[in-house]
Amino acid sequence: MDKIEIIKKLPTPCYVIDEQALINNLEILHGVEEKAGCHILLAQKAFSSYCTYPLIAEYLSGTTASGLFEAKLASEEMKDRQIHVFSPAYKDEEFDQLIDICDHIVFNSFSQWKHFRNRISKDCSVQFGLRINPGYSEIETEIYNPCAANSRLGITLENFEPDELEGISGLHFHTMCEQGADTLERTLEVVEKKFGKYLYNMKWLNFGGGHHISKPDYDTDKLISLVKKIREKYDVEVFLEPGEAVAINAGFLVTTVLDVTRNGMELAIVDTSAACHMPDVLEMPYRPFIISSETAGVLPYTYRLGGPTCLAGDIIGDYSFSKPLSPGDRLVFTDMAMYSIVKNNTFNGMPLPAIWLLKADGSTKLIKEFGYEDFKRRL
């Protein structure tokens, strides 16, 4: 049976992680690691379904975390792999735990570095880095642009303190989002121009995330040559920490049509919510793809799909189908592994979708189910 037919039989709403699709992404990323001689880390903020961490560990060098909890998750669930962390600001009470868990700790400012460096013991094996803000990015959505005016993310050249670098072994920049190697090339030019003179004294440079490496049209040869160039010129190790590229197209969200109504057009209410289960649809915003659908008006039956919450804007999008929709029909959203499972919420008392794993051999395994208690416990 085809995999879509298999997952359409699962109770809804549910996320389904597609193990084979994940493996395909990991193989591409591992190939880059080998050819470029760099380290690739999973950015857990995009995808932290740790049932897959043993698999990911077979291909990648480790993970990066946005703070203590993600770092802890990696330390528990991905053994013997590197753990890096970056946070805009660390708390005093977290720092000793981070020192125990992490291989690299990246600071967002010289004030944070100066605050914490006194607490580092002489025999500490953790490497410390600074996030720089090169002031160059090609991201047009402001909410995702770390180089926007007055951004709090990273140290600009004006605020860089070259006299305070003792104990710092690397620099980190993260300025990309769903972009290609050509964007990286232009970004590196600015990074080198502004911060290159400091790189000669560093052990590593972290290129951050936002590299769309596992997209079919991505120019991996260019990425590999850029990494090699930086490695050779400055004698540094290079790290990349993609989230999307690990989990892109590696999951589904399966939903059931609950009702079909009309107000100027056909409306369908489904048992999944954009606001609760795929918040990037509203935040990014984007229109997720549904298997066997087209954009409005292409196929004979067009519907505006919305969630069962009270939010007027809980609209997933307009889709057309070859047959009319009726209650009970299953719809399958694609590319729902990344930035969905990690971001969901129970607004309106919405149930959280169960998480299933579609294994490479075609069998399905229930990973987690959620119920009323999960909603109540957070309130």
Ligand X SMILES: *Cc1c(COP(=O)(O)O)cnc(C)c1O
Residues near ligand X, by CB under 6 A: 43, 45-46, 86, 174, 177, 208-210, 241-245
The nearer residue to ligand X, 12 or 108, going by C-beta atoms, is 108
- The single-letter DSSP state of residue 290 is B
Angle between helices 68-77 and 92-101 (to 10 degrees): 30
If the CB atoms of residues 39 and 45 are measured against ligand X, the closer one turns out to be: 45
Whole-number minimum distance, CB 226 to ligand X, in Å?
Answer: 16
Question: Nearest approach, Cβ of 242 to ligand X (angstroms)?
Answer: 4
User: Which residues are CB-contacts of 242 (< 8 A; sequence separation ≥ 6)?
Assistant: 29, 40, 42, 43, 46, 209, 210, 211, 213
**Alpha-carbon span 174 to 45, nearest angstrom:** 14
Return the SS3 of 237. strand
Helices (H) and strands (E) in the chain, counts: 12, 17
CB hemisphere CA count around 262 (13 angstroms): 5
CA 321 to CA 13: how far, in whole Å?
Answer: 20
Q: Which is nearer to ligand X, 25 or 272 (CB)?
A: 25
Shortest Cβ 204–ligand X spacing (Å): 15
Query: In angstroms, what is the minimal distance from the CB of 313 to ligand X?
Result: 25
Q: What is the enclosing helix (H) or strand (E) of 206?
A: strand 204-206
CA distance 151 to 161: 18
**Contact of 283 with 143, CB cutoff 8 Å:** yes
| Nearer residue to ligand X within complex by CB, 153 or 258 | 153
Q: Which is nearer to ligand X, 177 or 254 (CB)?
A: 177
Distance CA 108, CA 106 (A): 7
Between 59 and 319, CB nearer to ligand X: 59
- The nearer residue to ligand X, 16 or 43, going by C-beta atoms, is 43
| Backbone dihedral angles phi then psi of residue 309, each to the nearest 5 degrees | -105, 175
Helix (H) or strand (E) holding 254: strand 251-262
| Cβ atoms of residues 184 and 226 within 8 Å | yes
Q: Smallest gap, in angstroms, from Cβ of residue 146 to ligand X?
A: 7
- Minimum CB distance to ligand X, residue 17 (Å): 16
Minimal CA–CA distance to 98: which of 122, 66, 130? 66
* The token pair that represents 59 in the structure block: 């291909």
Is the Cβ of residue 29 or residue 190 nearer to ligand X in the bound state?
Answer: 29
